[in-house]
Chain A
Amino acid sequence: MGTTLAVARREFRSFFNSPVAYIVIGVFLVVAGWLYFSTVFVAGEASLRAFFGIAPVLFVVFAPAVTMRLLAEERKSGTLELLLSMPLRDWEVVAGKFLAALGMVAVGLLWTLPYPLTVAGLTAEGARFDWGPVVMGYLGLLLMASSFLALGLWASALSRNQIVGFIIGLLLCFAFYFIDKFAMVLPESAGELLQYLSVDYHFANIARGVLDTRDVLFYLSLTAVGLALTTRTLGNVRQ
């Protein structure tokens, strides 16, 4: 456990030592900020609906950008050999990397907190700002981010090239986002299955303010699958 955190801490620090961190988080904030302002000031609506509505798409790009270098870079520079000959289990390495990535996303989300705060302040007198969907929305974002990051981490383990890692991660995340978008043309049972596999569908549930264990379980299982695949791929690097 301690060693997992040591890996996570090192990764977290080195992420913020590189300009990539600031570019990725910066772009995220610009896009999120634009969406926020366009709803609140143009449509005059005191909610974060537009922000949460588009966040899944944002994360499809943002999550693989955070994870792309995590393992690809170590494979390329050879430091993976150093890391994998330390007294650590492979899953500890993977867990450390994952926690670091989650931490980075959390830092990015932290910077969006002024949005709900100002919206709450701007809410018309007499009306009460509804914090429920906001808190749930953030929780949902973190859960969704976990599953995307786990998939992105696996993509990063597959190649020595960060860009390849990014593109594979992007495709994986996009697939899980897009999977239910053509559900209406399919028979109902197949449509329901696809809907269940959709990251977007579960997020919409949570962002509405409803915390259903089924949605949470979905994200946690997708995360677990991603991390298990990453651990497996690391094992193959040893072959």
Chain B
Amino acid sequence: MIRIEGLTKSYGATQALRGVSFEVHRGQVVGFLGPNGAGKSTTMKILAGFVTPTSGTARVNGIDVTADPVASRRLIGYLPENNPLYEEMMVRDFLDFVAEVRGIPRERRAERIRNAVDRCGLRAVLGKDIHQLSKGYRQRVGLAQAIVHDPDLLILDEPTTGLDPNQIVEIRSLIKELGREKTVILSTHILSEVQSTCGRVLIINDGRLVADDAPERLGKGEGGTVTVVLASRTGALLQADAVRAMLEGVAGVTGVEMAEGEGAGTLGFRLRYGAEDIRRSLFEAAVRADLCLLEVKRQHVSLEETFRKLTGGEASRGPQDPGTPSLAA
């Protein structure tokens, strides 16, 4: 469906993309993640046929977006960042205009518009001017505009930015539904959105692709934390320092910190571990120390942590760029 090879883009002296290559197969819902200015929007703009790449190729269904832009744009529904719309137009007129420019023949236009209106729940506002609409409705108009010609590929640049939680849930379920029959690429910096809607994540940083995997597999094999709550089997008073020393001795544990217990006579710890699973050795160590495990909870490295690690959220960014990506979770 999409094949991008060695895509670069520079705006004057700034390099927005430094060689991005990936493929997306039909029917996938792909989440595009990255800090602001990483190149997500640029990649989407190129794919949508708005911006010309400096070098490299992008193909949609085998059609090169620079060589045959009109044909490739026909296959694509695009919701640009910030959802620009003709504010002074009525919703009905706007969709009619888009449908006409999209080349839907007159006799099928009414039906296509009705379909898009129903899916996006716009029936009630058809006769309103776009500037009168709430942000949630505007976003739905943007989506309706993108699906009115029934495209194979949907490109949605930050479709949920600026919406309240209820609207986010609505738009997300709409995207999920659309993703059942279409290929969808969406960008966001809401990581939970990726986990809930996308089957695949591409993380882009500083113009390069740094990760490409299923959201639940990202960060696997990179360790995580195990939270334990311990109590003495014999009823003896627990010495926090002694227990901590015991835990630090467990094979595979790379760090120990105190956490909440469950009340008197219990102690809670959070253990970091590397690649190997520590639960078995933890159990054996606890038995040897006459301790009873009331709770063992393992957590893989979260998508947030993977994201921060891959995009250099802590320290590894260039000195001229002090900005840490802000994550709205």
Contacts and interface: CB of A to CB of B under 8 A. Distances in A.
A213 interface: no
A6 B88 contact: no
Contact of B100 (A6, A80, A239): A6
Given A3-B103, A85-B49, A77 B97 contact: no
B51 interface: yes
B110 to A, nearest CB: 16
Nearest to B52: A238
Interface string A48-91: 00000000000000000000000000000111111011111100
Interface in B62-93: 70-71, 73-74, 76, 78, 80, 82, 84-89, 93
Interface residues of B, number: 29
B100 A2 contact: yes
Given A7-B101, A239-B52, A85 B84 contact: no
Interface string B129-141: 0000000000000
A87 B70 contact: yes
Nearest to B82: A78
Interface string A6-29: 110010011001100000000000
Given A2-B100, A6-B97, A81-B45, A238 B50 contact: yes
A85 to B, nearest CB: 4
Contacts of B80: 78, 81-82, 85
B89 A77 contact: no
B102 interface: yes
Contact of B78 (A17, A18, A85, A238): A85
B50 A85 contact: yes
A79 B86 contact: yes
B318 to A, nearest CB: 25
A85 B52 contact: no
Q: Interface on chain A toward B: helix, strand, loop, or mixed SS? A: helix
A5 B71 CA distance: 19
A14 B84 contact: no
A88 B70 contact: yes
- Pick the most buried of A79, A81, A84: most chain B CB atoms within 10 A of its CB: A81
Interface string A102-128: 000000000000000000000000000
Interface string A151-193: 0000000000000000000000000000000000000000000
Interface of B: 11, 45, 48-52, 70-71, 73-74, 76, 78, 80, 82, 84-89, 93, 97-98, 100-103, 145
21 contacts: A10-B86, A10-B89, A10-B93, A77-B84, A78-B84, A80-B84, A81-B45, A81-B50, A82-B78, A84-B49, A85-B45, A85-B48, A85-B50, A85-B76, A87-B71, A87-B74, A87-B102, A88-B70, A88-B101, A89-B70, A239-B51
